Amino acid sequence: MTKQEVEALAALRVEGLVGANLPGIDLSGANLPAANFYGAYLAGADLTGVNLVGANLQRADLSGADLTNADLRFADLNGANLRGANLTGANLTKATLSQADLSKADLTEAYLLTARMFHTNLTGTNLARTDWNNAFCRDPAVNQNFLCTLEELKAAGALVALTDPPHGFSGTALINFDIAPFGTPVTATIGSTEVAATTVTTHGAYKFRIHQPPSQAYVGKEITFKVGGFAAAATSTWEAGKEDVLNLLTPGR
């Protein structure tokens, strides 16, 4: 099955992708919102930058899949196998990860705001520089203390540490007023040091966080940005815990 065929089936909202056998398929940058991949076999698939907002991935096998910068907001991954998957920079805001196997998965810089992580296998899961403190480890409908804690994540085998809140940026990247193509690099620099980097996903979207290292002070320092290696007009200053929507425009020369 080709990427275009998968996108067509997803758009029709039919069950043609339920239980689909698609190991190693290249779906990078695919637009698959609300796709129904229930029980699908997607082990080793290339899903970098894919739009899976609101998708049904219950009991899907995504072991070893590359989900770098994937948009998985509101996705249902209940019981999914994500063992060894690369979820670096993935947006899992409000996603359901209950009963999922995230053992040895890399979630570096992933977004976990209100993600549901009840009874999730976190053995060896890399949660470095995520907002794990905003994830739900228990059902808030029945438990007042529903937010994950550092102690319980460590006890579950996750690789996690307590860090200062970063400054987050998201928005649209444009080159000469056109939407930047999928995969275009977007970088942020403070002084002469590159402090964050990502690539454009669907519709020119970018998203990253700038973390302050323990030995440095970024507060009030100017941040400059590049899209595709070209300087963007917009700048900002670093502030702990702030979340900015900032569109980045460069003339591309």
Confidence at residue 151, expressed as pLDDT on a 0 to 100 scale: 95
5 pLDDT more than 90: yes
CB 136 within 8 A of CB 118: yes
253 pLDDT more than 70: no
pLDDT tens for 124-169 read 999 999 999 999 999 998 888 999 999 999 999 999 988 888 999 9
Question: In percent, how much of the chain has pLDDT > 90?
Answer: 89
What is the CATH architecture of 167-250? Sandwich (2.60)
Question: Considering the domain 1-163 in this protein, what is its CATH number?
Answer: 2.160.20.80
Residue spans in the chain of domains classed CATH 2.160.20.80 = 1-163
Q: Please give the full DSSP string across 16-47, using - where no structure is assigned.
A: TTTT-B-TT-B-TT-B-TT-B-TT-B-TT-B-
Mean pLDDT for 117-123 is: 97
- Predicted TM-score (pTM) of the model is 0.89
Q: Band the pLDDT of 252: cuts 50, 70, 90.
A: confident
Confidence at residue 162, expressed as pLDDT on a 0 to 100 scale: 83
Residue spans in the chain of domains classed CATH 2.60.40.1120 = 167-250
pLDDT tens for 168-211 read 999 999 999 999 999 999 999 999 999 999 999 988 999 999 99
pLDDT tens for 63-97 read 999 999 999 999 999 999 999 999 999 999 999 99
214 pLDDT more than 90: no
14 pLDDT more than 90: no
